[in-house]
Structure 1
Amino acid sequence: MGWNILIVEDEDWAFVGLKEMLIDLYGDSTLTFTNAKEIQEAVTVINKHHFDLIFMDIHLMDGLSFEIFKQVSVEVPLIFTTAYEQYALEAFQHQGYAYLLKPFDVDELVQTMKRIELLLPKAEVRLKQRFLVKYGNFLKSLAIADIAYFMAEDKELYAVEKGSGVAYIIEDSLVHLVTQVDPFAFFQINRKFLIRIDSIQSMLKISRNRIKLELIPPTPKGIDVVVSEERSPNFQRWLDQ
Structure 2
Amino acid sequence: MNIIIIEDELKTAKSLIQIITELQPDARIAGQYQSIEASVKVLQEGPQPDLVFMDIQLADGLCFEIFKQVKITCPVVFCTAYDEYSLEAFKRNGVDYILKPFSKEDIREAFRKVHELRNFFQQKVMPDLSDLLNKLSPPATKSSFLVFKNQKYTTVAVENIACFFIRFDATCILTFDKQTFTVTQSLDQIAAAVSASQFFRVNRQYLVNFAAISEVEHHFMRKLHVKLVVETPDTLLINKEKSHSFLSWMENR
The DSSP-based 3-state class of the residue aligned with 2:174 is strand
Q: How many residues align?
A: 151
Give the superposition deviation at 1:231: 1.4
| C-alpha contact 2:212 2:230 (8 A) present in aligned 1 | yes
The correspondence of residues 151-190 of structure 1 with structure 2, limited to 5 A, is 151-163=165-177, 165-190=178-203
Which 10-residue stretch deviates more, 87-96 or 225-234?
Answer: 87-96
| CA 115–153 in structure 1, closer or farther in 2 if over 3 Å, else same | same
RMSD, matched Cα = 3.2
Distance 2:249 2:160 in 1: 21
Q: Which residue does the alignment assign to 1:97?
A: 53
Q: Which has the higher helix share?
A: 2
TM-score, length of structure 2 as denominator length? 0.51
Q: Which residue does the alignment assign to 1:226?
A: 237
The DSSP-based 3-state class of the residue aligned with 1:240 is helix
Q: Which residue does the alignment assign to 1:7?
A: none
Q: Which residue does the alignment assign to 1:26?
A: none
The correspondence of residues 119-198 of structure 1 with structure 2, limited to 5 A, is 119=89, 120=97, 121=132, 122=135, 125-135=139-149, 137-163=151-177, 165-198=178-211
- 1:58 pairs, out of 10, 14, 21, with 21
| CA 134–209 in structure 1, closer or farther in 2 if over 3 Å, else same | farther
Distance 2:31 2:244 in 1: 27
Distance 1:141 1:218 in 2: 22
Give the superposition deviation at 1:234: 0.9
Q: Which residue does the alignment assign to 2:229?
A: 216
The one-letter amino acid paired with 2:146 is L
- 1:202 pairs, out of 204, 215, 218, with 215
The one-letter amino acid paired with 1:114 is A
| CA 238–98 in structure 1, closer or farther in 2 if over 3 Å, else same | closer
| CA 143–59 in structure 1, closer or farther in 2 if over 3 Å, else same | closer
Distance 1:176 1:196 in 2: 16
The runs of 5 or more residues in structure 2 that have no matched partner are: 1-17, 34-48, 56-77, 90-96, 98-131
- 2:81 pairs, out of 90, 96, 114, with 114
Give the superposition deviation at 1:159: 1.1
Distance 1:130 1:211 in 2: 29
Give the superposition deviation at 1:152: 1.3
What percentage of aligned pairs have identical amino acids? 17
The runs of 5 or more residues in structure 1 that have no matched partner are: 1-54, 70-86, 100-110
Determine which structure has greater relative contact order: mean sequence separation of CA pairs < 8 Å that are 6+ residues apart, divided by chain length: 1
